[in-house]
Structures are given as structure tokens and as C-alpha cells.
Amino acid sequence: MMRTLFKNIVLPAALFVSAAVSAQTVVQPKIMVIPYTKEGEDIRSVLEEDSNKRIALSKIKEAFDERGVSTIDFVARLKAANTADVMNMDNQADIKSAIINMSGADIYVEAEIICQQSRVDNQTKPETRVKITITAYDIATGASLANKIGECGPFYTDDVAKLSMKAISSIADDFLRVMQVKFSDIAEQGRSVMMLINLDENSNYTMESAIGSQGLLLQDEIELWVDSASYNGHYHLQGVSPLNMVFDDIKLPFVDENGATYTVSKFSMSALKFFRSLGITVSRTLKGNTLYITIK
């Protein structure tokens, strides 16, 4: 679906560096807030076993909603993932990625929530403090857009919701401002990805092999394709040798021809089609915003 473009839109002032930015065309991202998980940790257990984290997560979403940000309910997506049998996957990292990718969000905000409570003599309420660390990531590339740490307490209270709202409110405006500026820059200039191309040790090709209908060198065919596939021809070739080729910055369009988000995986599929058109077999690996290609 085409992302809505707003001209001269009036959004909360905190989302902008200056009045000049608000006069520009702005693309508002959809955001989903998810809990931070350690490697191998079940994302369901993080919320099911800790009511304080559930409360804090909902307060982060609420703080964003109050500031006019379009948010997607993580808990609802988690339930949808259960229905779709996503949770039967073995790898917790894959489960997390599947939930994020099926969310329909442009950005996911990972929230690490630390709630500490201790009993103090002669106090009817526990001493409570809440610390929230939030980091925004572009879903299409995995690039970090903004991060902040908010804290509240200690106070003699068991009202975790109130402390969580105070902690997130202390950083929300600045966090959203930085995130929006960086996301708007992506929408205007394209997403940055890297592409590293290597030759398999048993490959019959080198970057200097003549190939294609025009008899160009393989490295030239690749560069011509990157030029056509990149956003407005914006890319940078870091280096090339007979056995490898490194593009350290390729700008991808924000959306594809159908108005859907243009992701690194879509770029990867386009690369596969290109090499097949040359009669070349390749293998691909995606890690974050980096595409690794091995020519067989």
C-alpha cells in the first residue's frame, strides 16, 4: 500500500528540528513497540511472566499515541502470529523477525524495561524505580534510527504504570524528533544497503570474464545493473578485484512500483534475477542491511 504523503502537514512540534522541517513533505511512519529479548529468549515469556513489563510496554505505546504517532499493537500481532502458527518455529530470532515483518509497520521500537522494586522498613509501599531504553529500527534494512534512555524513581509506590509513563515521557519528544528526521531522510534520499560479491573458489568466472550479449566484463555488467536498480543512480563502488566487488552504499527507493515498501529482500530477489539473466548461478545471504552474493 502506498505510504501517505502529507504536504505542509501539522504534526506535534516535537517531531521536528525546526519550523523549516515542518514545511517540507513528511512521510509519517507506522511504529510497533516490541519488548527487548535476549538471544534465545521466548518473546511470549517476556510479557506473560512479567506484568510490569506488559504495563510499561503499553505506556510506551500510549505515549507515542498521545503525540500523534501511528502505532501498531504488538500484543495483537503476537496473537495473530499464534494463529498463523509462527510461534511453532524453532528459532526465536526467526519468530521475532516474522512478527516484525507481518506487522505492517515501517519502524519497530525495541524497548528494554527494567523495573526494580524493594521493600523498605516502615514503608507500606515498595521502593520502585523504572528504567526504559528504547531503540528505533528501520524494518526494511534494520538500520538504527534513534535511541534514548528514560528513568523514573525511586519512589515509594507500586504504581508501575505511572512511573513508566513518567520515564517514557521524559524522552519521547526528543526520541520521536530524531527518529522522524532520519526516517524522512530515508524517504527522500532512499535506503542505504551494502552489497558484497565474491567468487566461489570453484567458479569458472572472474570479475574480468567477458559475459552477456555485449561481451562486457562481468564487473561492468554488475555496475550497470546496480546503476539501474539504485534510487536515482545513487551508489558507491568501494572496490573491485578479479575475485570480489564491494558496493559500500547503494540507495534503494523507499517504495516499489506498486507503492509497497522496497526492502533489502526485494533488492536481493532483483539481484538474483539479474544474475540468472546472465546465466550465472549465485547464492545469497542477508544480514541486516548487507547483501552477500557468491558467484558459483
- The pair phi, psi for residue 159, each rounded to 5°, is -85, 80
User: Which residue in the block uniquely carries the three cell numbers 534494520?
Assistant: 142
Return residue ranges of the chain for CATH 3.40.50.10610.
5-189
Counting every residue written for the chain, the total comes to 296
Beta-bridge partner residues of 115: 130
**Which pLDDT score is estimated for 108?**
95
**Which pLDDT score is estimated for 17?**
38
Return residue ranges of the chain for CATH 3.30.1360.
191-295
What gap in Å lies between CA 285 and CA 198, rounded to an integer? 12
For residue 143, give the C-alpha cell: 538500520
What gap in Å lies between CA 60 and CA 171, rounded to an integer? 10
Architecture of domain 191-295: 2-Layer Sandwich (3.30)
Closest CA to 229 of 197, 260, 198, 190: 190
Contact call for residues 52 and 160 (beta carbons, < 8 A): yes
pLDDT tens digits in sequence order for the chain, 296 residues long: 333 333 333 344 334 333 333 334 467 899 999 999 888 788 888 888 889 999 999 999 999 999 999 999 998 888 887 766 665 665 666 778 888 888 888 999 999 999 999 988 888 899 999 999 999 999 888 889 999 999 998 999 999 999 999 999 999 999 999 999 999 998 888 999 999 999 999 999 999 999 977 889 999 999 999 999 999 999 999 999 999 999 999 999 988 888 888 888 899 999 999 999 999 999 999 887 899 999 99
What gap in Å lies between CA 86 and CA 141, rounded to an integer? 22
HSE toward the beta carbon, residue 253, CA cutoff 13 A: 19
Tell me if the domain spanning 5-189 has CATH number 3.30.470.30: no
What 3-state class would DSSP assign to 226?
Answer: helix
Measured between alpha carbons, how far apart are the two ends of the chain, in Å? 36
Residue 253 per-residue DSSP state:
P
**Which pLDDT score is estimated for 88?**
61
CB atoms within 10 A of CB 158: 14
Contact call for residues 127 and 155 (beta carbons, < 8 A): yes
Closest CA to 270 of 193, 184, 202: 193
**Which pLDDT score is estimated for 40?**
79
What gap in Å lies between CA 289 and CA 194, rounded to an integer? 6
**Which pLDDT score is estimated for 256?**
84
What 3-state class would DSSP assign to 290?
Answer: strand
**Which pLDDT score is estimated for 24?**
43
**Which pLDDT score is estimated for 145?**
95
